[in-house]
Structure 1
Amino acid sequence: MLLKRTVTALFAALALALPAVLPTALPAAAQECAGQNLFEAMPPAQLAELRAATEAVPYHRGLFWRAEKGGMRVTLIGTYHFADPRHDLAMARFGPEIDRAGALLVEAGPEDEAKLAKALQDDPALIVNASGPTLPERLTPEEWRTLSVALEQRGLPDVVAAKLRPWYVAVMLGISPCMMRIVEERGDAGGLDHLLIEKARAADVPVRALEPWDTVLTLFTGMSLSEEEDMIRTAMPAAEYADDYAVTLSDAYFAGESWLMWEFGRFDAYANSGLGRTQVDQQMQLAQDRLMDRRNEGWIAPIENAAAAAGVQGKAIVVGFGALHLPGEHGVLRLLERAGWTISPINVEGIGNGG
């Protein structure tokens, strides 16, 4: 039962790439858990600094976009991987586009999710380190006490938590215990990605994955011991107010400001992780590179190939993935722009986009 529960939570967290280590890790239906919007309680000067850091990022605001090139057309949908009634607004707008699309591309389709779950059930070593030093041996006593309490709240007792791999711990810390209960009760995260897939399958539109199903299991290979430990330290501050983080995240997403949450994670770690700014920046860059940038670069060819194949039939394609993959110099929008695509925003009434 424990493994089944952690498998569900793992996929829910990693599917977005709004990390828990950052934001590629996000909580579910935030409106069902009690919490406050952290931006509302932030000192004005700090919030202004946070927004200034966000403003410098290309395409930092917006969820829905059109890309066009040589007669090829792509609708790009930045998703939130957890259930929320506001997804109905996006589905009302994009459902008809999916009905007539040549294909829907997503991070992982149902078959991919099933393969991931089976791999984790068949090989616990993917998330459990049975032979190396335990986390209590790698962290300070105070760090381990704080961490063990946070993981216990997420259904992971000390005897299990002590041997978990650091990347998995960092992911789990980004998920609110309340949200984990909701995901478990539902049986899935119920996010916009799943709604897009359900719509495509009902319309007999092919659903294809942007990357191999086991990509999430290889994201953090090759890290040094100190990098792994600092990844946990960077993730720990948000674990203490995960419900607030979940509410803030969902509010930011539906305001079209997902990147604001990424920068919030950085500033929160500056203040509360015990690491210096340089260490935090290194961790954030490492996470961004592995969770987003490298994957984004690998998605461009599948998107272009699918758009070309659909274009021959006079059709467009729809592509849905976690909203944090859209912005930045190595974000999907900028990468397509560099490849000669014309990018324009799509406005959906009731959801912030901004363009």
Structure 2
Amino acid sequence: MRLKPFLTAIFAAMFLALPAAAQECVGKNLFDSMPPARLAELRAAAEGVPYRHGLFWRAEKGEQHITLIGTYHFADLRHALTMDRFGPQIDAAATLLVEAGPEEEARLTQAMTSDPTLLVDPEGPTLPERFTDDEWKSLSSALEARGLPVVIASRLRPWYVAVMLGVSPCMMQVIKERGDAGGLDHFLVERAEAAGVPVQALEPWDTVFTLFEGMTPKEEEDMIRAAMPAAEYADDYAVTLADAYFAGDSWLIWEFGRFDAYDNSGLTRAEVDEQMRLAQEKLMDQRNKNWIKPLEQAAAEAAGQGKGVVAGFGALHLPGTSGVLRLLENRGWTISPITVEGIGDGG
């Protein structure tokens, strides 16, 4: 899960968030104050995207079946509704498939602790050298507010900077207090472990470090420029994303990130569209294709036991012509929505 071009995909495949903890982050839904004409543009841009509305789905192929849950990676009290609906299915499943399981998360944490160069570039040009004085002033201020001193921030890798800009200072404090993000994925894994259901990762633990390989310096810099505008109102952005998610309207988040960058990033529309193309390719499309084989293999093995499987991953991986649902449909699976009372409408 954020929320502007690249974050729209890591978050809006990665950092969708409305934390609920001892400290509450307060913001407003930006759709509520958006001019009607612009909101109509967003909705028009999302029209026609396959499976664009809905978070919960069932895929069936002969005796095989997969329950697919589009997740939201930060804490929210409304996750209880989802767990009430799908907890029993997880208990009865042969396997729970997630983006990263406990083993992968542990390896990732260990790697980042033992090798700082995964997040920090000790040799290349610093960020102050790559941006104008005004850009660096704004960027360093935003990173300092998120607990990253300038001396460290100046050498952070661009992809990590873009991700951090999508998390508001308040949200960072909530995560620190909780010890984790507390997202739906966490509850799915917790339920599976309690029921003795195996948890399988859909991708290797180091995927996050390979997603941005091959980007040019200009593409890296534009990724940060596209992320900067919403960093100033990240709490509002978080509320907007959360409300859209729980309304089952995930693809609207994607288009929101695009139009926000059109208006506020300083990039041309062509540059923003290129960022969006790269984001979708690297953060969603490539990964979606890689997930089909483990999903189908797990479902086939489960069918041999007279069971199904449950898969939970970021909600933006579900819709689109290269989304998991359409990819499965193209391989002969029948896709049908699942309704959860109080969340979206399932279709």
Shorter-normalised TM range: over 0.9
Matches within 5 A, 1:131-210: 131-210=123-202
Q: CA deviation at 1:309?
A: 0.1
Q: CA deviation at 1:26?
A: 1.6
Instruction: Tell me if the contact between 1:347 and 1:353 (Cα under 8 Å) persists in the aligned partners.
Output: yes
TM-score norm. by structure 1 comes to 0.94
Q: CA deviation at 1:21?
A: 6.2
TM-score norm. by structure 2 comes to 0.96
Are 1:244 and 2:233 an aligned pair?
Answer: no
Q: Number of aligned pairs?
A: 342
Q: CA deviation at 1:237?
A: 0.9
Aligned with residue 103 of structure 1, among 95, 100, 105: 95
Task: Report the equivalent of 1:218.
Answer: 210
Measure, in 2, the Cα distance between the counterparts of 1:328 and 1:354.
16
Task: Report the equivalent of 2:12.
Answer: 23
Q: CA deviation at 1:27?
A: 4.9
Q: CA deviation at 1:22?
A: 5.8
Q: CA deviation at 1:334?
A: 0.5
> SS of the counterpart of 1:38?
coil
Are 1:335 and 2:327 an aligned pair?
Answer: yes
Letter in 2 for 1:61: H
Task: Report the equivalent of 1:231.
Answer: 223
Measure, in 2, the Cα distance between the counterparts of 1:145 and 1:258.
33
Aligned with residue 307 of structure 2, among 315, 318, 334: 315
Q: CA deviation at 1:230?
A: 0.5
Q: Structure 2: where are the runs of 5+ without partners?
A: none
1:261-301 Cα offsets, whole Å, 9 max, x none, are: 11101000000000000000000110111111100000000
Measure, in 1, the Cα distance between the counterparts of 2:228 and 2:14.
13
Q: Structure 1: where are the runs of 5+ without partners?
A: 1-11
- For residues 303 and 97 of structure 1, do their structure 2 counterparts lie closer, same or farther at Cα, with a shift above 3 Å needed? same
Are 1:67 and 2:59 an aligned pair?
Answer: yes
- For residues 173 and 198 of structure 1, do their structure 2 counterparts lie closer, same or farther at Cα, with a shift above 3 Å needed? same
Instruction: Tell me if the contact between 1:20 and 1:170 (Cα under 8 Å) persists in the aligned partners.
Output: no
Aligned with residue 352 of structure 1, among 338, 344, 347: 344
Letter in 1 for 2:98: V
Task: Report the equivalent of 1:58.
Answer: 50
Measure, in 2, the Cα distance between the counterparts of 1:321 and 1:47.
27
- For residues 177 and 25 of structure 1, do their structure 2 counterparts lie closer, same or farther at Cα, with a shift above 3 Å needed? farther
Are 1:255 and 2:247 an aligned pair?
Answer: yes
Aligned with residue 116 of structure 2, among 124, 127, 139: 124
Letter in 1 for 2:205: W
Q: Equivalent pairs: percent with the same residue? A: 70
Measure, in 1, the Cα distance between the counterparts of 2:16 and 2:71.
13
Measure, in 2, the Cα distance between the counterparts of 1:88 and 1:150.
33
1:293-320 Cα offsets, whole Å, 9 max, x none, are: 1000000000000000000011000000
How much is the aligned-residue C-alpha RMSD, in angstroms?
A: 1.5
Instruction: Tell me if the contact between 1:103 and 1:310 (Cα under 8 Å) persists in the aligned partners.
Output: yes
Aligned with residue 267 of structure 1, among 259, 262, 265: 259
Q: CA deviation at 1:56?
A: 2.2
Measure, in 2, the Cα distance between the counterparts of 1:237 and 1:20.
16
- For residues 54 and 13 of structure 1, do their structure 2 counterparts lie closer, same or farther at Cα, with a shift above 3 Å needed? closer
Measure, in 2, the Cα distance between the counterparts of 1:112 and 1:303.
17
- For residues 18 and 226 of structure 1, do their structure 2 counterparts lie closer, same or farther at Cα, with a shift above 3 Å needed? closer
Letter in 2 for 1:23: A
